[in-house]
Structure 1
Amino acid sequence: MTRRGRQLDENDVRVRARGGSRPRTRVRPKHENAKQGFVTAVDRGRYTCLVEGREVVAVKARELGRGSIVVGDRVSLVGDLSGQPDTLGRVVRVQERGSVLRRTADDTDPVERVIVANADQLVIVCSLSDPAPQPRFVDRCLVAAYDAGLSVLLCLTKSDLASPDELLRTYAGLDLDTVVTHADGDLDGLRSRLRERTSVMVGSSGVGKSTLVNQLVPHARRTVGHVNPVTGQGRHTSSSAVAFPFGDGWLIDTPGVRSFGLAHVSADDVLAGFPELEEAALICPDGCPHTAGAPGCELDAGVTAGRLATDRVSSLRRLLGSRTGEDGG
């Protein structure tokens, strides 16, 4: 067969390039003119970002690959950043995170889920009644906070229905910052602890977290649910994390959760939240579980000799046990 009078051979075979005709390159665009933004909400691949005082909706640039972008991330954006309806910017860079609050679906799930980035305070909201207090849930949140390097504020709600004294005694050994609220009380104590911080609020459904957010940030309009008087359970009223400007900081509300998996947290990470106990545990035998009565555990010896505080050791063991569903001894 000939083509324009010439004999054809294998050199004339055309092969379609896979993935398009452009050669692939590892060099990513620099985007020197990108604007800096703060991610305040995430919804099905759309990222609401605060850019130079205005809200911009953006998508993730293809060059970022599969990496996640979460509320609290500081990002660089290009494209249409006017914030006008039906406009989209592009997130082209995610800056290094200062902290990451994570959880797993349960204690056997190896997949970590990033809740928020760059927070410096975890506010654990726990009701004193309706629903009843959930110390195990609080313990798990504490472990996650220690793992993330966050300070902790324990916020007890509905003190008009029950006394906080017993629950406060439970956490006396942790030297936690706590604030107690009730339906008709002012929130000045809580506000003072949130100013100039990036705080993330977590809590089970029905504990009053969304009510608090609406009182602290009137324009938030977070949906408030009701607790079943029989089961003590409420529906999840917040479906996604949202960040609200609060003074010189940020207040991040998260969806209500019923479980806080800790498959990603090791016993050493929990110990790190107790510096004096961590130092004592260095003398323990290899693989020591640090539970009560464990052979050779220095924590028992330290309590007996008066070198370690009993309530601190009990708190540590309760938190260690929370990782596996045990009480820790």
Structure 2
Amino acid sequence: MQGRIIKSLAGFYYVETANGDIYQTRARGNFRKKGQTPYVGDWVDFSAEEQSEGYILAIYDRKNSLVRPPIVNIDQAVVIMSAKEPDFNSNLLDRFLVLLEHKKIQPIVFISKLDLLSSRAQMDDIRTHYEQIGYKICYSLEELLPLLVEKITVFMGQTGVGKSTLLNKIAPDLRIETGEISETLGRGRHTTRAVSFYSVHGGKIADTPGFSSLDYEVDNAEDLNEAFPEFRKLSHSCKFRSCTHTHEPSCAIKQALEEKQLWKVRYDNYLQFLSEIENRREIYKKTIKRK
């Protein structure tokens, strides 16, 4: 039989078939020998006899994956950013977007706490810039809900942006405690850690932890360039194939910036991320030399 893992708990994997039946399974020992671990979102072959525990027999190739928590084969991610308390932070949003672009996961940005703004003018301007790049920006639940249909969606956001509040509105049955660690989603201090998909609005959703900081796997200028869609399109016109868009002559990105075809905020964030990558490389080189 074939199905998708929709829940992982205490060594058990719950597999849902195309007709909606759910089977409790375990992973055979040969997966450990191969260094493989089944994750929520995996498409698998499994055996399941009546009134007995099933076993996962094979794991299909994954199109993408996240580490915290381990979820694979994700269609899209809703990044929740607050307009106020904490203030909107384009640098943090771009870190999320770089991660998602690198992972080939479609981003959707949801702006929370708009009611705390005295004026939306600045936020509307920011929204316009991101939409011009090609990102979907949602101000309301009415804009967001249709995007969840027939999709596997994860929710992510910095602690304090209202992620639990939003999830409670989308799926009241989850009863997530706002401002606290989610017991329902298996991250209470004294609960067994569970990773699960929940069927909501014609699709499946999964929560991810809040972040106070975000590490991403991009560790070179080429991948960073690819993670900025507007740079990716223009960089083919750069004189040098390995252009970092910093000091090289005949750089299409810098030219577009001068002609105000690119948003300077994004370019400044790109430069900061590039600097962080280069600094990490220098630290790594020094560490290697010491050894």
TM over 0.5: yes
Shift of 1:284: 4.1
The aligned counterpart of 2:139 is 180
Unaligned residue ranges in structure 2 (runs of 5+): 188-193, 278-291
The aligned counterpart of 1:140 is 95
Distance (whole Å) between structure 1 residues aligned to residue 92 and residue 230 of structure 2: 25
The aligned counterpart of 2:286 is none
Which of these two proteins has the greater Rg computed from alpha carbons? 1
Distance (whole Å) between structure 1 residues aligned to residue 58 and residue 226 of structure 2: 32
Compute the TM-score of the two structures, normalised by the length of structure 1: 0.67
Shift of 1:164: 4.9
- Confirm whether residue 126 of structure 1 aligns to residue 95 of structure 2: no
Distance (whole Å) between structure 2 residues aligned to residue 74 and residue 194 of structure 1: 20
> How much identity, in percent, do the aligned residues show?
23
Shift of 1:178: 1.0
- Confirm whether residue 204 of structure 1 aligns to residue 169 of structure 2: no
Shift of 1:191: 0.8
Shift of 1:204: 1.8
- Distance change (3 Å), C-alpha of 1:70 and 1:133: farther
Among 201, 205, 222, the alignment partner of 1:268 is 222
The aligned counterpart of 1:68 is 37
After superposition, residues 248-263 of structure 1 pair within 5 angstroms as 248-263=202-217
RMSD over aligned Cα, in angstroms?
3.0
Distance (whole Å) between structure 2 residues aligned to residue 71 and residue 324 of structure 1: 35
Shift of 1:78: 1.5
The aligned counterpart of 1:91 is 56
Distance (whole Å) between structure 2 residues aligned to residue 205 and residue 154 of structure 1: 16
1:202–1:253 Cα contact (<8 Å) kept: yes
Distance (whole Å) between structure 1 residues aligned to residue 26 and residue 274 of structure 2: 36
Which whole-Å deviations, capped at 9, do the CAs of 1:37-95 have from their partners, x for residues lacking one?
2222223433233234243332211222322322222222224575xxxx632222111
Compute the TM-score of the two structures, normalised by the length of structure 2: 0.75
Unaligned residue ranges in structure 1 (runs of 5+): 1-34, 104-112, 182-186, 227-234
**Which structure shows the higher helix fraction?**
2
Amino acid at match of 1:179: C
The aligned counterpart of 1:55 is 22
Which whole-Å deviations, capped at 9, do the CAs of 1:98-141 have from their partners, x for residues lacking one?
x31436xxxxxxxxx67422222111011223333333321111
- Distance change (3 Å), C-alpha of 1:276 and 1:315: closer
- Distance change (3 Å), C-alpha of 1:53 and 1:278: closer
Distance (whole Å) between structure 1 residues aligned to residue 128 and residue 24 of structure 2: 45
Shift of 1:152: 1.6
Distance (whole Å) between structure 2 residues aligned to residue 222 and residue 81 of structure 1: 35
The aligned counterpart of 2:262 is 310
Distance (whole Å) between structure 1 residues aligned to residue 270 and residue 220 of structure 2: 11
- Distance change (3 Å), C-alpha of 1:279 and 1:54: closer
